[in-house]
């Protein structure tokens, strides 16, 4: 008989083993990779077949084997490489295999993947038109099939051909029908003519360096550090051509859905076999894309971080564009993976080259390149030697002293007026959504917070308070719930309030907002960017999604508002985030023939991140920041693991965290630098009545730190959240 090892799809961390089931005769076709339904703990759950083997009927088992109930799909879903990747993810990120297997699904687990089919007619044999003298409809259908090769049954009505005519020809053996899957692709019609231009010497050097690795078909990592406008995308395209000529496939990752459309346009100008994967597509569309990839009809996969988890094989090149972007980190649910780390490991699986590209590389990867772990490729000049934009920092304290209480400085308003007068365009970055970012009582200082997570709520123009984490919506208070005062103050400025300020200062300007509140639907970002690129609007403003990757020739002016806001967060990455936003936003200006100008507004223009950002000098920023990171032993000089201990009883959560802290200090290898801090209340200290405390492990030996967690079975507990390489420390 056949038995199968099944990974049951349940969320309990304690369940880490596979379970053995009997394969009934009716499911003899099952192999590793199929999704199935199995009985488990008095209910049916879905699961993943990890292995199937034959055993003697007389073989005895500790428990009586239950039968697999049914197969979910019409074919195995997982390839051997997908299953190997899922195992690696579960091991590295210390989470159940069922969680990592779920990453490779396009939608809800346990459901049959929805598919659409159509009926197609084809000629079955040659025909003689003279045999159909009195059957004009039949000869019409036969002639159409001869000319076209096939005809969908849905097209019969428009050709005025009846089903009766079709049935007669089928019975006579002249035509046959077949059922064919319809593969939907929302990006099918998106194509532009390729732009022809010579590569610069620096672009050529980058291409040649990676070509050698592609030809060797061996893993090698590269960091492509090119200033904004230096032509990194064209390097990716040229290397994709080389990879496809070698018969291998390509994954292109972009951090934001907002950048997907532009990437697809660029690549579809040169390639026809492109599939797109991101979370705004429907489950059916993602499923169809997976099907095209599995069947070998796709050579290039483009998308956000989830594009890593498709059934693609024989990968020769992976590109992680804007590799520094925090959107590559999955934070909210296990596995809390970083796509940058996963992409590199997958490149090793495939023997592929991987390129990390950025104008502002993560300090982790820049340090690795300095140490020779990645090959550093530099493109320090823009294409055609266009200069980087001129940047000026405006001290907003001076604006206040001069009586200007607007979010817009006088210098920025003047730049915008000159830009519009010259029929040019501008982009403004304000990395805060909503109208007012804080609602506070002036009498006692109490802040309106989310009842679920305790974070400050944002006031929006719809008159409601919104929690951007939990999606909770509340009415704003008329009196302070803490002290009863009526002195409620709305503080801070978000993109909605900026919109009002722009309309007041520039009443004739055509303005367009782009943030999470204005970009619904799968093409929400693209519609906004297309309209702006077509110069239907003069000013595009919004959150960080306006600052990265966009190449719009009419943009000559950029404003960065509240540039130093990121520096107020208690995060060791604060300066890096601040520098990155300034540099990336400034890079949107002057990308064509016209020079660019940038105004950076801040209250602390002397901060190093502001100074180096305005100078657009990454290497000086890195030289300033890296020694500080080394002094306090933060990445890239260590790896971090954040453990969040949860319990409805705060004292129990804290006590358990202290117990683990003591064990870590007693057991870890003192020869390898490893430290543990905490417990401290988490940033969200109380989530829906559950208290949360953080232990932060800093380790120069990540494997040893992970081994400690395993030894204490923390990965099997539902009251401990494990985050490897977290973005924040609280």
Give 71-116 as a 3 state SS string: ECCCCCCCCHHHHHHHHHHHHHCCCCHHHHHHCCCCCCCCCCCCCE
Question: Quick one: pLDDT band at residue 610, thresholds 50, 70, 90?
Answer: very high
The pLDDT, as a whole number, for residue 109 is 59
Q: Give the chain's count of helices (H) and strands (E).
A: 19, 30
pLDDT at 570: 76
d(CA 357, CA 228): 11
- In sequence order, what E strands does 592-714 have? 597-602, 639-647, 674-687, 690-699
Name the least confident of 129-138, 271-280, 365-374, 643-652: 129-138
In the predicted model, is pLDDT for residue 419 greater than 70? yes
pLDDT at 83: 93
Dihedral angle of Cα 142, 125, 169, 162, to the nearest 10 degrees: -30
On whether the CB atoms of residues 8 and 98 are closer than 8 A, the answer is yes
Q: What is the pLDDT of residue 522?
A: 65
Report how far residue 517's alpha carbon sits from residue 499's, in angstroms, rounded to the nearest whole number: 13
Choice between 570 and 342, residue whose per-residue pLDDT is larger: 342
Q: Which residue has the higher pLDDT, 672 or 658?
A: 658
- CA distances to 136, 283, 425, 601 from 419, rounded to whole Å, are 67, 43, 6, 18
What pLDDT is recorded for position 683? Answer: 87
Residue 99 above 80 pLDDT?
Answer: yes
545: cis peptide before it, omega within 30°?
no
Q: What percent of the chain has pLDDT over 70?
A: 96
H-run or E-run covering 69: none
pLDDT value for 118: 75
Over residues 443-454, the mean pLDDT reads 80
Chain centroid to Cα 459, Å, comes to: 27
**421 and 238 Cβ atoms separated by less than 8 Å:** no
Contact (CB, 8 A) for 281 and 275: no
Q: Return the pLDDT at 520.
A: 67
Handedness of CA 242, 244, 247, 248 (dihedral sign): positive
Residue 309: exposed, middle, or buried by beta-carbon count in 10 A (0-12, 13-18, 19+)?
buried
pLDDT for 690 equals 92
At 136, the pLDDT band (50, 70, 90 cuts) reads confident
Residues 520-543 have pLDDT tens digits of: 666 777 788 888 889 999 999 888
Residue 657 or residue 196, greater confidence: 657
Residue with tokens 């849905």: 154
Residue that wins the pLDDT comparison between 370 and 461: 370
What is the per-residue pLDDT across 498-526, written as a single tens digit (0 to 9) for each?
Answer: 888 899 999 999 999 887 766 666 677 77
* Other residues' Cβ atoms within 10 Å of the Cβ of residue 400: 11
Give me the mean pLDDT over the 365-381 stretch: 96
Percent of the chain at pLDDT above 90? 53
Q: Which residues pair with 639 in a beta bridge?
A: 699
pLDDT on residue 134: 73
Per-residue pLDDT tens digits for 286-301: 888 888 898 888 999 9
Q: Which residue has the tokens 């007041």?
A: 504
Average pLDDT over residues 2-23: 89
658 pLDDT band (50/70/90 cuts)? very high
Q: What is the mean pLDDT of residues 616-633?
A: 95
Helical spans, DSSP H, in 65-221: 80-92, 97-102, 136-148, 163-171, 201-216
Mean of all residue pLDDT scores within the chain:
88
Q: Judging by beta carbons within 10 Å of its beta carbon (0-12, 13-18, 19+), is residue 662 exposed, middle or buried?
A: exposed
Q: What is the rounded distance in angstroms from the CA atom of residue 99 to the CA atom of residue 629?
A: 33
- Higher pLDDT: 662 or 154? It is 662
pLDDT at position 554: 87
Q: What is the pLDDT of residue 645?
A: 97
Question: Which residues lie below 8 Å from residue 25, measured CB to CB, with a gap of 6+?
Answer: none
Q: What is the pLDDT of residue 252?
A: 96
Residues 109-134, mean pLDDT to the nearest whole number: 77
Is residue 112 very low, low, confident or very high in pLDDT (cuts 50, 70, 90)?
Answer: low
What is the pLDDT confidence band of residue 206, given thresholds at 50, 70 and 90? very high
DSSP secondary structure letter of residue 580: H
Say which residue the tokens 């339904």 belong to: 37
Q: Are 236 and 391 in contact (CB under 8 A)?
A: no
Whether 110 shows a pLDDT value over 60: the answer reads no
Average pLDDT over residues 257-265: 79
Distance CA 620, CA 611 (A): 10
Averaged pLDDT for residues 372-389: 92
- Please list, in sequence order, all residues whose beta carbon lies within 8 angstroms of the beta carbon of residue 194, skipping any fewer than 6 positions away: 269, 270
Check: CB of residue 465 under 8 Å from CB of residue 474: yes
Q: Is the confidence at residue 189, as pLDDT, over 90? A: no
pLDDT of 488 higher than 60: yes
* 55: three-class secondary structure by DSSP: coil
Kindly indicate the confidence band of residue 168, based on its pLDDT and cuts at 50, 70 and 90. Answer: confident
pTM score, whole prediction: 0.87
Mean pLDDT of 648-663: 96
């Amino acid at each position: 008989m056949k038995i199968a090892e099944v990974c049951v799809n349940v969320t309990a961390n304690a369940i880490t083993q596979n379970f053995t089931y009997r394969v009934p005769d009716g499911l003899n076709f099952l192999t590793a990779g199929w999704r199935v339904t199995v009985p488990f703990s008095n209910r049916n759950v879905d699961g993943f077949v990890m292995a199937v083997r034959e055993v003697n009927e007389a073989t005895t088992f500790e428990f009586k084997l239950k039968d697999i109930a049914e197969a979910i799909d019409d074919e195995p879903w997982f390839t051997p490489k997908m299953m190997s990747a899922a195992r690696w993810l579960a091991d590295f990120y210390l989470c159940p295999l069922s969680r990592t297997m779920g990453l490779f699904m396009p939608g809800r687990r346990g459901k049959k993947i929805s598919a659409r089919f159509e009926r197609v007619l084809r000629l079955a044999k040659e025909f003689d038109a003279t045999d159909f003298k009195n059957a004009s409809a039949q000869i019409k259908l036969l002639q159409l099939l001869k000319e076209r090769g096939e005809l969908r049954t849905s097209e019969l009505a428009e050709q005025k051909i009846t089903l009766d005519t079709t049935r007669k020809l089928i019975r006579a053996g002249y035509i046959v029908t077949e059922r064919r899957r319809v593969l939907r692709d929302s990006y099918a019609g998106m194509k532009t003519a390729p732009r022809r231009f010579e590569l610069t010497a620096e672009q050529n050097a980058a291409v040649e360096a990676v070509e050698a690795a592609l030809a060797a078909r061996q893993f090698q990592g590269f960091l492509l550090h090119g200033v904004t406008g230096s032509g990194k995308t064209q390097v990716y395209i040229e290397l994709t051509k080389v990879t496809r000529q070698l018969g291998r496939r390509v994954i292109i990752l972009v951090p934001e859905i907002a950048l997907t459309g532009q990437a697809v346009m660029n690549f579809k100008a040169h390639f026809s076999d492109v599939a797109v994967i991101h979370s705004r597509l429907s489950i059916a569309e993602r499923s169809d894309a997976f099907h095209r990839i599995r069947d070998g009809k796709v050579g290039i996969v483009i998308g956000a971080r989830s594009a890593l988890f498709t059934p693609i094989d024989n990968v020769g090149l992976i590109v992680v564009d804007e590799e520094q972007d925090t959107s590559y980190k999955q934070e909210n649910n296990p596995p809390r993976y970083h796509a940058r780390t996963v992409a590199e490991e997958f490149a090793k699986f495939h023997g592929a080259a991987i390129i990390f590209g950025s104008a502002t590389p993560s300090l982790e990867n820049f340090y690795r390149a300095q140490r020779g772990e990645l090959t550093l490729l530099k493109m320090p000049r823009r294409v055609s030697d266009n200069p980087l934009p001129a940047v000026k920092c405006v001290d907003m304290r001076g604006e206040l002293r001069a009586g200007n209480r607007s979010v817009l400085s006088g210098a920025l308003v003047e730049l915008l007026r000159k830009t519009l007068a010259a029929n040019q365009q501008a982009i403004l970055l304000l990395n805060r959504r909503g109208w007012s970012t804080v609602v506070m009582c002036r009498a006692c200082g109490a802040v309106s917070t989310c009842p679920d997570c305790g974070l400050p709520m944002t006031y929006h123009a719809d008159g409601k308070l919104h929690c951007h984490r939990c999606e909770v919506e509340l009415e704003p208070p008329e009196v302070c719930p803490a002290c009863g005062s009526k002195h409620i103050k709305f503080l801070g400025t978000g993109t909605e309030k900026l919109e009002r300020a722009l309309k007041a200062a520039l009443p004739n300007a055509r303005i367009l907002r782009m943030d999470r509140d204005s970009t619904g639907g799968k093409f929400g970002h693209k519609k906004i960017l297309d309209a702006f690129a077509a110069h239907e609007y003069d000013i595009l403003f919004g959150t960080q999604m306006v600052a990265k990757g966009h190449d719009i020739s009419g943009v000559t002016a950029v404003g960065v508002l509240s540039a130093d806001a990121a520096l107020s967060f208690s995060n060791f990455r604060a300066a890096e985030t601040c520098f990155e936003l300034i540099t990336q936003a400034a890079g949107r200006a002057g990308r064509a023939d016209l020079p660019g100008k940038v105004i950076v507004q801040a209250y602390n223009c002397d901060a190093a991140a502001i100074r180096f950002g305005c100078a657009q000098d990454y290497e000086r920023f890195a030289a300033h920041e890296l020694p500080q990171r080394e002094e306090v032993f933060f990445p890239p000089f260590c790896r971090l693991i954040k453990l969040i201990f949860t319990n409805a009883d705060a004292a129990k959560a804290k006590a358990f965290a202290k117990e683990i802290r003591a064990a870590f200090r007693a057991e870890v290898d003192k020869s390898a630098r490893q430290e543990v801090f905490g417990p401290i209340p988490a940033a969200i200290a109380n989530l829906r009545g559950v208290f949360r405390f953080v232990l932060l492990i800093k380790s120069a030996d990540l494997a040893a730190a992970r081994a400690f967690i395993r030894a204490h079975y923390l990965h099997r507990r539902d009251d401990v959240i494990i985050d490897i390489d977290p973005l924040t420390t609280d």
